[in-house]
Amino acid sequence: MRTTLTIDSEVLAAFKRQAAETHRTLSGLIEAALREHLARRRDAGATKPLEFPIVGGSGLAAGVDVGSNAALLGFVDEADGVYERFRGRPPHERDA
């Protein structure tokens, strides 16, 4: 499809240089750039922000080490009962 665009002269010159350096057509290079831009927007739209609940309290629970991912995971697992449910399952069922 043929269309007319107004493009900044510096941007167009950069695309022309890149097209020449990569042995591609200017149209092909610009089309690829537009496709890449659309794909990034589509990927960014698919990622939803996480929502963390806000609860009242007086800071960290006793014994929580915020500097250790393993310690935090252990604390969360114990707090919501996952650890106990997991521990009670036979080894062959744990990763299922």
Q: Are residues 67 and 93 in the same domain?
A: yes
pLDDT digits (tens, 9 = 90+) for 33-90: 999 998 887 766 666 676 766 667 777 777 778 888 888 777 777 766 655 555 666 5
Q: What is the pLDDT of residue 59?
A: 75
Range of the domain at 18: 9-46
In this structure, is residue 69 part of a structural domain?
yes
In this structure, is residue 27 part of a structural domain?
yes
pLDDT digits (tens, 9 = 90+) for 71-80: 877 777 776 6
What is d(CA 16, CA 7) in angstroms, rounded to the nearest whole number? Answer: 12
Position 91 pLDDT exceeds 70: no
Position 9 pLDDT exceeds 90: yes
In this structure, is residue 91 part of a structural domain?
yes
In this structure, is residue 52 part of a structural domain?
no
In this structure, is residue 71 part of a structural domain?
yes
In this structure, is residue 89 part of a structural domain?
yes
Closest by CA to 52, choosing from 71, 76, 69, is 76
Give the number of domains in the chain: 2
In this structure, is residue 73 part of a structural domain?
yes
* 36-73 exposure pattern, b = at least 16 Cβ within 10 A, e = fewer: eeeeeeeeeeeeeeeeeeeeeeeeeeeeeeeeeeeeee
In this structure, is residue 75 part of a structural domain?
yes
